[in-house]
Structure 1
C-alpha cells in the first residue's frame, strides 16, 4: 500500500496556517501535537510550535508542522510523506532514494511505535518515509 501525503512546513506559523486553511476550505484539523508534548526536547523548537498536524477537507489531506525542519529547507517548504505498511518495502525505497542523495535521518524507531526516516533525493526532493508497525 502506498499513500502520498503533502507535508508543509511553516517555521512558527503553523497554527495560523491551520486557521487559514480551515477558513478557506471549511475543513478540520484531525491531529495536532505540540513540541512541548514530545517525550524529548527538540533543539531549536519552541514548545508552543506545532510538531505535527493533519488537516482534511473535501477528501484532500495534508500534514503540517512548524518544525525545525523548515530551517533545513532552502526556499522549499514542502516534503513528501510516504506512508507504507511494510518495513522491508520502506527500507528498499529508502535505500533507492538515498542513491546520489542525502540521508537526513536514517530509518529508526520513533516514540509512536512506528519506523521513520528522512531523506533528500538527488533532485532535492525531501521524503519522509513512515511505516506503522502492525502487531
Structure 2
C-alpha cells in the first residue's frame, strides 16, 4: 500500500505558510518540529527553521518544511512524500526512481523510527520515500 502526500518547501517561510494555510482552510497544524529539535546537528540547516510540519483540513493533508538549504529549493519547492509499508518495496522503488536521476539522500534509518531517502528522478520530480521500521 502506498500513501502519497504533497510535501511543500518554503526556504525560511514555513511558519508564515502554516499561519496562512490555517487562515485559508481553517485547518490545524498536527505536528511541527524545528531543526534545533533534532538529536544531531543537520548540516546546512538553520536551527530555527521548520524541519517538518503536518497540516490537515477538510480531509486534505500537507507536509511542509523550510528545507535544508535555499539553493535546493530554487525553482522546485514541491516533493512527493510516499509512505510505504514494505522495506523491500521501498528499496526497489528507490532504485528505480534513481535510475538516470540524482540521489539526494540515500535510504537510511532515522531518529524518528523510519527508513527514509530522497531522490530526484530523471524528470526533476523529487520523491521522499518513508517506511516505518517494525
Shift of 1:36: 0.9
In 2, distance between residues paired with 1:15 and 1:133? 29
In 2, distance between residues paired with 1:43 and 1:117? 16
**Structure 2 unaligned blocks of 5 or more:** none
TM-score calculated relative to the size of structure 2: 0.96
Shift of 1:102: 0.8
The root-mean-square deviation of aligned C-alpha atoms, in Å, is 1.0
The C-alpha deviation readout for 1:61-106, integer Å capped at 9, x for no partner, is 0100012154213301000000001000000100110111111111
TM-score calculated relative to the size of structure 1: 0.95
Q: Secondary structure at the match of 2:80?
A: strand
Residues 3-22 of structure 1: pairs in structure 2 closer than 5 A:
3-22=3-22
Number of matched residues?
A: 134
Runs of 4+ in 1 over 3 A off after TM superposition: none
Residues 122-133 of structure 1: pairs in structure 2 closer than 5 A:
122-133=122-133
**Structure 1 unaligned blocks of 5 or more:** none
